[in-house]
Structure formats: C-alpha cells, structure tokens
Amino acid sequence: MKKSVIVAATAILGLAALIQSTSCKKETITNTNIVKDTVYVPCPVNCDVRGNYSGTFINQFGISAAFAYKLLNDNFTTGASTLTSTMTAFGGYSNTCDSIKWNSYNTINNSYYNFAGKFTNNRTTLTGVYQNVTTPAEIGSFSLTKQ
C-alpha cells in the first residue's frame, strides 16, 4: 500500500513537471513609462424645459382647439384644455435641447397619445405632431408657447 502511494505521488509530480515545462511562459514587462490616458465622454446635454405651455392643436379634420401642458419635475407631464383647467391628461416626457417626446393618457376619452415636437425661439415655442395610440386614425399637429 505504501509503495502504491509513493508511485502515485511520483507520477503526479512527474505529470506536473511535464505540464509546467510545456506551458506558456509569462513575459515580464520592464517598461515603466506606461501612461494611461483618460478619455472623458461628455454626457448628453439635457436642457431644462420644465414649465407651462399653452396653444392649439389641429386634428386630421382641420378642427382646431385650445390645449395646454405642464412639463413638471422628474419628467412628469399633465395636460388640459387650458392651464387653469383641471388637468385631464397625465404622462411623461423626454427631451434634448431642441426636441421633445411625450406620452400621455387622456381621462376624457380614455386614450393614450404620443407627441413629438421641436423647440424654437430659445425653447419658448414648441411645434409638432401627435397621434392617438388607442385610435390611430386620430392624428394632428400642435403649437405651444411657454408661458
């Protein structure tokens, strides 16, 4: 029994020596003048567009009506026919410095809407298009001015 343990140990040591001698060797880097560059990638600019906007929309039949939206903290938005009316639409928005997209749910007709628009005049005017997602045939355009 003792002899078989010695033979097994010798075989394992011999196999380990064979593997070590045939394996890749790590090269030592002696160059100590390595400089690591840091690349700073600028974050996307997200201009503050919060505020109250009012104006009009025109639907696919050419009918125009007043409407207003409040762009609030944490990208939350509320909407109604005027800024002083009870808010009847609720949703969220995302924007860049020159454009905005928002989605909202209108409690009057139980419909979801998608809006997309562009800012002009130093982000005081917002014009764009909308579509009722619940009834996709309902489409139109809008123009809002920051109050």
- At 45 the pLDDT is 58
pTM: 0.68
Distance between terminal CA atoms of the chain? 95
**DSSP state letter for 26:** P
Listed by start position, the domains of the chain span: 51-146
DSSP secondary structure letters along 41-67: PPPPP-----EEEEEEEEETTS-EEEE
Q: What is the pLDDT along the chain (147 residues), one digit of tens a residue?
A: 555 545 444 545 454 454 454 444 444 445 555 555 666 556 555 699 999 999 999 999 999 999 999 999 999 999 999 999 999 999 999 999 999 999 999 999 999 999 999 999 989 999 999 999 999 999 999 999 999
- Kindly calculate the radius of gyration of the chain based on its CA atoms and give it in whole angstroms: 33
CATH architecture, domain 51-146: Beta Barrel (2.40)
Question: Which structure tokens are listed for 85?
Answer: 């009316």
What are 99's strand-pairing partners?
118
Amino acid, res. 51: G
Q: Can you tell me which residue has the tokens 């609030």?
A: 72
